[in-house]
């Protein structure tokens, strides 16, 4: 048959080659020949039915072929008597002598059948008849009846267990240690093998190293199943290659995708929705896992265990039998010296006090850095101190105290009723009087015999709610201590008020002895936050007054302490043992004696004049005096009067100093310790605390990371799929399974630039959906594989 002329509009494909080759059944390799009577064809076929003959080379005479279909599919009709297998010789283009043509990739995936004459008996004899339901494709070593798609149950279970276990482990780490604020005792409240914080801390550095790889393992199985679904299948073979390389879990892949987004703004079209979703959750995991180690850190601490209850515990501090075994006058003199010398009150050893549950007082129980608070309106308990936290019932001192600055006389309750005209002619430096409600006011003028600060004139009035019998102590009776003879002493709920008003005036100095002083070199400060009603009073003309009001109470007794959280409960008030000759003054009653610098306040208020009580106020808060040179020569002057805040600090230090002397004799490092029974002490160990990165943020990120993996695993990993993972070997099988019209030179360079990959399908499905035994490959049009079907 003479060769037909191509249509005028026909243009060969850019992929056309000198020959046309098909690599499977239903394809032929046609080679042009100079002979008009011979066409050489090579057909390679895999037949499923037993006994099927696969020809390797067949010479057909021109007379055996009537015609081929033209480019548009026109031509003769097939012979109805023709063997079904003769359809293997179909062509999609006109095959002519001296002409070779390769079809475009996106044209007909299966060429239409050719027109063969009924006389083509040679071709019919080559193939046996086979049923139409039998697949013409066949995988090596697979029987004709095929296999069902496998399930990978173990991988699916592991893909769920691994991320869940990792996040649960971090959650319990957070719950056990990291959820507590800095300084909380909860981090060392429980004990056990799992409380080995060193193992937990180091384990997260190890887990963070392998967690991302474990996540890759879990996601790989889901990806292999998702590309078989229409919803998630890659639109082309290039995207499938990207998914197989797990670039969604690689920072280089994210960077390249970002570059494409910036340059072409086509990230979604370039990589696909599945890649974008997997990359998003991978970025979350990639950022979270390395930071897990920075959410925690180890510190020195203690651990509490009831099994150590029988161990001997040695403590320091006064107990019930020894707290009143001291002379009251000597104790008051000692504590006054400590306070007026500027020593900061320090608790010994562990330096731990106890607060009531729910108290607003700040307490750092995880380290020995505690000092008594400035505001103890809510009671605190001072118990025996040891080297570690204690648990059990102990004896101690419960106290309350607080001080506030007074800006107007109405804030006073005692000094607001002072008599400014009382005994103006009295020449002594100290005196006092009793108000109608038995409250007491003590007046202390600056002594002229001892005046270390020459440029400041000061006078003090102390008002207290104590009666004269409670305040004065000529016989050192037990009435002012914690022992009781006639009645019980006032307890923790009975508040004693102490108010102080300090009148002062300051003068610049021109010389000190033979030393000339330039007043311009100093800034002399007068009272700045004074009480307006107390300016230029009759008794203190030309002076301003600053005021402070304090409240305090105390009791001794037993309480159940918990050194773990720093709380005390079940306080029971006790009386101290009676001591002949008196005992220590109560916490709240000893402060006036310290301020006026005397162990006794007689009933006639005649105090000694040879005491510089005014300089003691300066020294108690460590306020510096003026100097004249670099050697620190004392100038005998102060740069400022005591401001209201300074007076408040001085009184608060007096309360704190008295408390630590009552319970610990003021010793920060005592040398005498005694054995305390029926208590448990914490043992030194390492504790785990919060790090520089908030663990709650990391916990949320890890939860999102794990939840995404688990959802994908539960949804897709237990479905049947053709392979366990979308690995390189699988992609290679798809590559060799394509028609030969994809030539090596079309894939030159990076695969991302190979346009031919964009034209190949990317969904993994059934190439022969109508056959009884299907064949898995790259399909176009979204034909999903059937779970109940067998595949070869």
Quick one: pLDDT band at residue 449, thresholds 50, 70, 90? low
Mean pLDDT for 607-624 is 85
Question: To 10 degrees, the CA torsion angle through 52, 56, 62, 67?
Answer: 60
Report CA-CA distances (Å) from 621 to 166, 340, 498, 647: 55, 8, 19, 9
Q: What pLDDT does 701 receive?
A: 93
pLDDT over threshold 50, residue 36: no
| Of 168-172, 491-495, 596-600, the least confident | 596-600
- Integer Cα distance of 447 and 223 in angstroms: 92
Give, rounded to a whole angstrom, the gap between the first and last alpha carbons of the chain.
41
Q: What pLDDT does 554 receive?
A: 96
User: What is the secondary structure of 455-474 as a DSSP string?
Assistant: TEEEEEEEEESS-HHHH--S
Mean pLDDT for 214-224 is 83
Q: What is the DSSP letter of 401?
A: E
Q: What pLDDT does 658 receive?
A: 96
Helices and strands in the chain, H and E counts? 15, 24
Q: Which element (helix H / strand E) includes 688?
A: strand 683-690
Strand partners, 76: none
Q: Count Cβ atoms within 10 A of the Cβ of residue 196 and give its class: 0-12 exposed, 13-18 middle, 19 or more buried.
A: middle
Task: Spell out the residues 6+ positions from residue 555 whose beta carbon is closer than 8 angstroms to its own.
Answer: 397, 398, 482, 489, 491, 492, 571, 573
For strands 390-406 and 147-148, give the pairing: unpaired
Q: What pLDDT does 609 receive?
A: 76
pTM as predicted: 0.63
pLDDT over threshold 90, residue 644: yes
Q: What pLDDT does 401 receive?
A: 97
Closest CA to 306 of 680, 683, 686: 680
Closest CA to 769 of 50, 87, 107, 133: 133
Q: What pLDDT does 311 receive?
A: 67
Q: Is 222 helix (H, G, I), strand (E, B) or coil?
A: helix
Share of the chain above pLDDT 90, in %: 26
Quick one: pLDDT band at residue 262, thresholds 50, 70, 90? low
Ranges 142-146, 273-277, 364-368, 628-632, most confident: 273-277
| Of 189-193, 395-399, 712-716, the least confident | 189-193
- Do 241 and 751 contact (CB within 8 A), yes or no? yes
Q: What is the pLDDT of residues 655-668, one digit of tens each?
A: 999 999 999 998 87
Q: What pLDDT does 249 receive?
A: 74
Quick one: pLDDT band at residue 368, thresholds 50, 70, 90? confident
Q: What pLDDT does 592 receive?
A: 93
Q: What pLDDT does 600 receive?
A: 83
Residue 769 CB: number of other CB atoms within 10 A? 15
pLDDT over threshold 80, residue 714: yes
Strand partners, 431: 443
Mean pLDDT for 385-391 is 89
Helix, strand, coil content of the chain in percent (nearest 5): 30, 20, 50
- Integer Cα distance of 628 and 682 in angstroms: 53
Q: What pLDDT does 492 receive?
A: 93
Mean pLDDT for 489-499 is 93
Q: Count Cβ atoms within 10 A of the Cβ of residue 351 and give its class: 0-12 exposed, 13-18 middle, 19 or more buried.
A: middle
Quick one: pLDDT band at residue 100, thresholds 50, 70, 90? very low
- Integer Cα distance of 645 and 407 in angstroms: 11
- Would residue 557 be called left, alpha or beta, if left means φ above 0 and alpha means ψ between -120 and 50 degrees? left
Q: What pLDDT does 531 receive?
A: 95
pLDDT over threshold 90, residue 376: yes
Ranges 28-37, 111-120, 173-182, 751-760, most confident: 173-182
- Do 458 and 650 contact (CB within 8 A), yes or no? no
Mean pLDDT for 614-633 is 76
Higher pLDDT residue, 166 or 624? 166
- Integer Cα distance of 98 and 463 in angstroms: 126
Higher pLDDT residue, 661 or 215? 661
Q: Which element (helix H / strand E) includes 354?
A: strand 354-355
Q: What is the DSSP letter of 199?
A: H
**CB contact burial 469-506 (16+ within 10 A = b; e otherwise):** ebbbbeebbbbbbbbeeeeebbebeeebbbbbbbbbbb
Mean pLDDT for 222-229 is 83
User: What is the secondary structure of 239-296 as a DSSP string?
Assistant: HHHHHHTTGGG-HHHHHHHHHHHHHHS-HHHHH-HHHHHHHHHHHHHHHHHHHGGGGE
Mean pLDDT for 462-479 is 73
Q: What pLDDT does 726 receive?
A: 78
Ranges 566-575, 577-586, 679-688, 760-769, most confident: 566-575
What are the start-end ranges of the E strands in 115-177? 147-148
- Do 549 and 411 contact (CB within 8 A), yes or no? yes
Q: What is the pLDDT of residues 513-551, one digit of tens each?
A: 556 666 666 778 899 999 999 998 888 888 999 999 999
| Of 138-147, 191-200, 234-243, 625-634, the least confident | 625-634
- Integer Cα distance of 740 and 307 in angstroms: 79
**Rg of the chain taking only CA atoms, in angstroms:** 49
Q: What is the largest distance, in Å, between two alpha-carbon atoms of the chain?
A: 153
- Do 503 and 540 contact (CB within 8 A), yes or no? yes
Q: What pLDDT does 559 receive?
A: 97
- Do 682 and 564 contact (CB within 8 A), yes or no? yes
Q: What pLDDT does 635 receive?
A: 67
Q: What pLDDT does 379 receive?
A: 96
pLDDT over threshold 50, residue 126: no
- Integer Cα distance of 303 and 371 in angstroms: 22
> Sign of torsion, CA 187 193 199 203?
negative
- Integer Cα distance of 137 and 135 in angstroms: 5
Closest CA to 43 of 63, 27, 31: 27
pLDDT over threshold 80, residue 754: no
Q: What pLDDT does 5 receive?
A: 39
Q: What pLDDT does 306 receive?
A: 56
Quick one: pLDDT band at residue 70, thresholds 50, 70, 90? very low
Q: What pLDDT does 105 receive?
A: 44
Mean of per-residue pLDDT scores for the chain: 75
- Integer Cα distance of 547 and 414 in angstroms: 12
Q: What pLDDT does 76 receive?
A: 40
Question: To 10 degrees, the CA torsion angle through 354, 356, 358, 363?
Answer: -20
- Integer Cα distance of 7 and 93 in angstroms: 13
pLDDT over threshold 50, residue 15: no
Quick one: pLDDT band at residue 509, thresholds 50, 70, 90? confident
Quick one: pLDDT band at residue 408, thresholds 50, 70, 90? very high
- Do 385 and 566 contact (CB within 8 A), yes or no? no
Q: What pLDDT does 518 receive?
A: 67
Q: What pLDDT does 447 receive?
A: 65
Ranges 397-411, 708-722, 776-790, most confident: 397-411
Name the residue with tokens 């032929």: 28
Mean pLDDT for 111-125 is 40
- Integer Cα distance of 665 and 661 in angstroms: 4
Ranges 295-304, 436-445, 604-613, most confident: 436-445
pLDDT over threshold 60, residue 135: no
Quick one: pLDDT band at residue 310, thresholds 50, 70, 90? low
Closest CA to 480 of 576, 557, 571: 576
Q: What pLDDT does 7 receive?
A: 36
């Amino acid at each position: 048959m003479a060769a037909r002329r191509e249509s005028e509009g026909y243009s060969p494909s850019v992929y056309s080659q000198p020959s046309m080759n098909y690599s499977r059944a239903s394809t032929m390799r046609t080679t042009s020949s100079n002979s008009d009577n011979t066409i050489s064809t090579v057909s390679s076929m895999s037949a499923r039915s037993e006994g099927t003959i696969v020809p390797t080379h067949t010479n057909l005479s021109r007379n055996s072929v009537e015609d081929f279909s033209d480019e548009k599919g026109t031509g003769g009709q097939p012979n109805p008597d023709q063997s079904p297998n003769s359809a293997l010789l179909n062509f999609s283009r006109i095959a002519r002598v001296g002409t070779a043509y390769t079809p475009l990739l996106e044209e007909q995936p299966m060429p239409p059948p050719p027109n063969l004459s009924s006389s083509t008996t040679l071709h019919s004899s080559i193939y046996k008849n086979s049923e139409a339901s039998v697949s013409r494709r066949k995988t090596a070593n697979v029987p004709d009846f095929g296999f069902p798609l496998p399930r990978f149950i173990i991988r699916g279970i592991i893909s769920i267990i691994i991320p869940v276990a990792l996040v649960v482990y971090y959650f319990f780490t957070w719950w056990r240690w990291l959820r507590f604020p800095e300084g909380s005792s909860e981090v060392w409240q429980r004990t056990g093998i799992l409380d080995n914080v060193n193992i937990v801390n180091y384990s997260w550095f190890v887990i963070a190293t392998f967690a991302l790889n474990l996540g890759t393992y879990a996601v790989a199985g889901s990806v292999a199943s998702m590309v078989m679904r229409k919803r998630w299948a890659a639109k082309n073979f290039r995207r499938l290659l990207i998914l197989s390389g797990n670039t969604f879990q690689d920072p280089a892949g994210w960077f390249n995708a970002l570059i494409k987004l910036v340059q072409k703004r086509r990230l979604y079209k370039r990589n696909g929705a599945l890649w974008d979703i997997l990359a998003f959750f991978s970025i979350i995991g990639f950022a979270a896992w390395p930071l897990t180690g920075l959410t925690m850190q180890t510190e020195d601490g203690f651990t509490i265990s009831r099994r150590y209850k029988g161990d001997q515990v040695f403590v320091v501090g006064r107990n019930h039998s020894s707290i009143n075994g001291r002379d009251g006058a000597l104790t008051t003199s000692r504590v006054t010296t400590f306070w007026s010398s500027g020593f900061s009150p320090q608790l010994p050893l562990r330096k731990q006090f106890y607060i009531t549950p729910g108290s607003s007082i700040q307490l750092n129980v995880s380290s020995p850095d505690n000092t008594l608070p400035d505001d103890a309106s809510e009671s605190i308990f001072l118990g025996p101190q040891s080297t570690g936290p204690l648990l059990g019932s102990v004896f101690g001192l419960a106290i309350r105290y607080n001080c506030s600055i007074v800006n107007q006389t109405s804030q006073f309750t005692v000094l607001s009723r002072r008599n400014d005209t009382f005994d103006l002619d009295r020449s002594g430096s100290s005196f006092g009087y009793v108000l109608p409600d038995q409250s007491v006011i003590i007046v202390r003028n600056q002594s002229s015999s001892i005046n270390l600060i020459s440029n400041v004139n000061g006078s003090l009035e102390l008002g207290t709610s104590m009666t004269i019998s409670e305040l004065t102590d000529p016989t050192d009776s037990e009435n002012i201590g914690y022992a009781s003879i006639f009645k019980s002493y006032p307890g923790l709920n009975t508040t004693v008020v102490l108010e102080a008003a300090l009148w002062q005036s300051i003068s610049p100095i021109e010389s000190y002895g033979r030393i000339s002083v330039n007043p311009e070199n100093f800034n002399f400060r007068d009272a700045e936050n004074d009480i307006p009603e107390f300016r230029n009073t009759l008794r203190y003309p030309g002076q301003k007054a600053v005021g402070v009001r304090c409240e305090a109470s105390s009791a001794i007794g037993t309480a159940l302490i918990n050194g773990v959280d720093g709380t005390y409960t079940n306080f029971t008030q006790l009386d101290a043992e009676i001591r002949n000759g008196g005992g220590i003054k109560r916490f709240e009653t000893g402060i006036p004696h310290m301020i006026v610098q005397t162990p006794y306040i007689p009933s006639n208020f005649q105090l000694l004049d040879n005491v510089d009580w005014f300089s003691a106020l300066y020294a108690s808060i460590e306020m510096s005096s003026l100097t004249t040179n670099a050697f620190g020569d004392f100038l005998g002057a102060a740069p400022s009067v005591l401001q209201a805040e300074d007076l408040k600090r001085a009184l608060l230090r007096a309360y704190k100093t008295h408390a630590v002397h009552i319970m610990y004799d003021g010793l920060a490092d005592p040398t005498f310790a005694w054995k305390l029974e029926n208590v448990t002490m914490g043992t030194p160990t390492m504790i785990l605390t919060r790090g520089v990165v908030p663990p709650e943020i990391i916990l949320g990120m890890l939860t999102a990371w794990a939840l995404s993996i688990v959802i994908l695993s539960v949804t897709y990993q237990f479905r049947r799929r053709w392979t366990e993972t979308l690995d390189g070997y699988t992609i290679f099988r798809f590559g060799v399974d394509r028609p030969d019209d994809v030539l090596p030179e079309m894939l030159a360079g990076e695969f991302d630039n190979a346009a031919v990959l964009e034209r190949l399908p990317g969904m993994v499905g059934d190439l022969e959906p109508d056959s009884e035994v299907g064949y898995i490959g790259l399909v176009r049009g979204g034909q999903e594989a059937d779970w109940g079907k067998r595949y070869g």
